[in-house]
Amino acid sequence: MNTGDTFLFLSAFLASGVEFVEALTIVLAAGLARGWRSSLAGLGAATLVLAVVAAVLGPALTKIPLNGLRLVVGALLLIFGLQWLRKAILRASGYKALHDEDAIFAQELAEARGAEHVERAGVDWYGFTLAFKGVLLEGLEVVFIVLTFGSAQGSIPLAAAGAAAALLLVAGVGVAVRAPLARVPENAMKFAVGLMLTTFGVFWSVEGAGADWPGSDAAILGVLGFVGLSSFVLVRLLRRERRTQLRAAEARA
Amino acid sequence: MTLLSRFGRFWWDFVVGDDWLVAVLVVIAIGATAALATTSVAAWWLLPLAVPLVLWLSLRRAIRST
């Protein structure tokens, strides 16, 4: 595997892993509060919809000329990645609460337990829609990432393999512990995914815009290093600013 | 809200996210890279440099709104 392929597999694995952890939390909350039948039915229905979306979009993307595809995909990934990085930097500098899978699970569970029981098509409707919507939304991000990463790098199967490896790992651990995966370093993973999405976004946008990278695929590592260093500096700056604000607020109180 | 507007809203939220300024600046930066690529000057450096700038502007907006 060359630099681009290794980076592709790792990016798909990490990005999908984060989404699968979040989907697992919702499926578990729906299953424990409303019964496994409705939760698993929601999971199955969402998986079916996602498979159809991937089957329709996947072959369509391979028909688009590579430069045009890289320009559009690069722009989308760059916008997507910068949004992830922005949130990650706000979390790391203390301006936004850290993502807490245990707290999200407790909230989902409480809401699911409090909802009225309505039975449709033999399943508890709340449990079904909760699992369906959760898996569909998180899954759409996985489909988007796998198809865009894979098509722009010329290997959808490799990106899909990265996502499948993440699915096996998260599902396996989830079935074993039957609890939200709160010990997964999700905030760090989200930061890493933001860095990778932004890096791929920059790399492909530049190629799609008709410019050439010095060093070809190896330039990905240079872009990753630069984006990582910039983000680190921004976290340090904002953390210092946040501390000064908190001290000033304490002094006033 | 109609089904069509909800569909549009979903994709807007999914792709553009919390700050539309990021999307606008990214499109401008890519456009500038494409324009530079048509000249004899190297164009690859422009977009990486835009990343910390866009991030900084978007972070300032997020912090001001908190």
Return per-residue pLDDT of chain A as tens, 253 residues.
Answer: 677 788 888 888 988 888 888 888 888 888 888 888 898 999 999 999 999 988 888 788 777 787 788 898 899 889 989 998 999 999 999 888 877 777 887 888 788 777 777 777 778 888 899 899 989 988 888 898 888 888 877 788 899 999 999 999 988 888 887 776 766 677 788 888 899 889 989 999 999 999 999 988 889 899 999 999 999 999 999 999 999 988 888 888 7
Residue A171 burial (CB count, 10 A) = 14
The encoded tokens of residue B58 equal 């978007």
**A220 has a chain B CB within 8 A of its CB:** no
B66 and A95 within 8 Å at the Cβ level: the answer is yes
pLDDT score for A1? 66
pLDDT score for A176? 82
Whether the pLDDT of residue B66 is over 80: the answer is no
pLDDT score for A193? 86
Of residues B3 and A78, which shows the higher confidence score? A78
**Which residues lie closer than 8 Å to A128 by C-beta, 6 or more apart?**
A30, A38, A39, A41, A42, A45, A120
pLDDT score for A182? 66
Give A238: exposed, middle or buried? Use CB within 10 Å, 0-12, 13-18, 19+: buried
Instruction: Quote the domain boundaries for residue B55.
Output: 16-65
Cβ contacts (< 8 Å) between B33 and chain A: which residues? 205-206, 209, 211
B12 min Cα distance to partner chain A (Å): 11
The encoded tokens of residue A137 equal 């939304």
Instruction: Say which of A86, A208, A226 has its CB closest to residue B48.
Output: A226
Alpha-carbon distances, residue A49 vs A44, A46, A56, A136, A184 (angstroms):
9, 5, 11, 8, 28
Q: Does residue B26 fall inside a structural domain?
A: yes
Interface of B with A in 4-63 (CB under 8 A): 14-19, 22-23, 26-27, 30, 33-34, 36-38, 42-44, 47-48, 51-52, 54-56, 58-59, 62-63
Q: Which amino acid is at B47?
A: L
- Give kind and range of the element (H or E) at residue A60: helix A36-62
* B18 in Cβ contact with A80 (< 8 Å): no
Instruction: Say which of A82, A209, A219 has its CB closest to residue B37.
Output: A209
pLDDT of B12-65, one tens digit each?
887 788 889 999 999 999 999 999 999 999 999 999 999 999 999 999 999 988
**3-state class of A61 per DSSP?**
helix
Q: pTM of the entire structure?
A: 0.79
Q: Does residue B49 fall inside a structural domain?
A: yes
Q: Which amino acid is at A3?
A: T
Q: How many structural domains are present in chain B?
A: 1
Residue A173 burial (CB count, 10 A) = 15
Q: Does residue B7 fall inside a structural domain?
A: no
pLDDT score for B2? 78
Whether the pLDDT of residue B1 is over 70: the answer is no
pLDDT score for A146? 87
For an interface test with A, which of B49, B55, B56 has the most A Cβ atoms less than 10 Å from its Cβ? B55
